[in-house]
Amino acid sequence: MTLNFYDRTFRGLPWPERVKHFRHEIKCADGPDRIAAVANALFSELKASHTGVYTADDLTYWALESFFSHSIDDYPVNFSGIWPVRRDHEWFARYVLQGSPAQHAGVLPGDELISINGRPYQPLGFRGGKTAAFVVSEDGRTRLTLYVKAKKQGMQRFFFVATRDSERIEQIQGHAVGYFHLWSGAGPLFLKALNGALANFERHHISALILDLRGGYGGAGPPYLEKLRHDPYFRHVYKVALIDHGTRSGKELVAAIIKHDHLATLVGSRTAGAFLGASTVRLFNNLYLVEVAIGHYVPPGIGEIEGVGVQPDVPVAPCIRFCRGRDPQMAAALRLIRRHLARVRSLHRSG
């Protein structure tokens, strides 16, 4: 599984010895989840991104299958639109995709995810085509039952729809402000959606732009910044880009270029530092999907991203648990925009 690992020294580890050690942790009766957990404990010693083992019980298995596929509709899976995170043995909604069944049902980022039809929450516990009684908590004390009907489609399709549907224009202090969430840059459809939104923002004469790079998957690169860099209109639009630990891979390069070239103000928290090139391989009749880092790239003029990440210009910690609709990073972006608009108004009056 590590034959194509990008570092032939295995980061200086005595790799055959480490493999032998962890092999003794696996018993013949162990199921796929246990075996994957042991393998991932071994791989974690490499301290390398894009390297892990996933089973079909893991959302990442389906996401990787989809994003490494040529079609956004391959590898359909029942999905509610919640990308969860586990904290202290409890599940929380880290992200809720725009336009997803979970968003329509009222699930908010930071909600504790408790049960689906009376069973403890599992990320793939929803059944497509059937409405589920989904119990969440906004504050850790009270519980709320929502009704969610998951969809079955490729994960790449889910992220594309969320990207496309994120486009909106809000009025702030009498000015139009555009918002767009780039959940992934895995293919031409995502770039087309971004450029289409920017064209629409220009038609509506926006005064400021929020480009949300948080969460989702990578795949983006310099072409995603062409319009912001070269379009005369957008060179004069005040721009903020949101980042966090969920900003990874190609989107980290986008964030790094934004910061290096001063294309926008980066607001949020450090990105994932997950910037190695990768490939996947299926094992044992697709029982396991193995992702292996096969390439290391340091962007000229940018510097190391892998293991380092991109630091924001304006650091703001995210809300992870019991947010009740709060988004401190978005709130900080809006404060910057209001201050900018107030300065512009003041200059116009004094002029």
Extents of the domains making up the chain: 78-151, 156-276+306-350
**Per-residue confidence band for 29, with pLDDT thresholds at 50, 70 and 90:** very high
Give 157-187 as a 3 state SS string: HHHHHHHHHCCEEEEECCEEEEEEECCCCCC
Tens of pLDDT, residues 291-334: 999 999 999 999 999 999 999 999 999 999 999 999 999 999 99
Q: How many CB atoms lie within 10 A of CB 156?
A: 27
Instruction: Single out the residue of 23, 24, 127, 58 nearest to residue 287, CA to CA.
Output: 58
SS3 144: strand
Tens of pLDDT, residues 254-290: 999 999 999 999 999 999 999 999 999 999 999 999 9
Tens of pLDDT, residues 84-106: 999 989 999 999 999 999 999 99
Contacts of 314 (CB under 8 A, 6+ apart): 265, 266, 267, 268, 332, 336
Residue with tokens 């796929």: 32
Q: How many CB atoms lie within 10 A of CB 24?
A: 8
* Averaged pLDDT for residues 188-210: 97
Level-2 CATH architecture, domain 156-276+306-350: Alpha-Beta Complex (3.90)
Task: Look at residue 347 and tell me whether its pLDDT is greater than 80.
Answer: no
Q: Quick one: pLDDT at residue 346?
A: 77
Write down the CATH superfamily of domain 78-151: PDZ domain (2.30.42.10)
- What is the C-alpha end-to-end distance of the chain, expressed in Å? 66
Task: Look at residue 1 and tell me whether its pLDDT is greater than 60.
Answer: no
**Per-residue confidence band for 350, with pLDDT thresholds at 50, 70 and 90:** low
C-alpha–C-alpha distance, residues 149 and 171, integer Å: 33
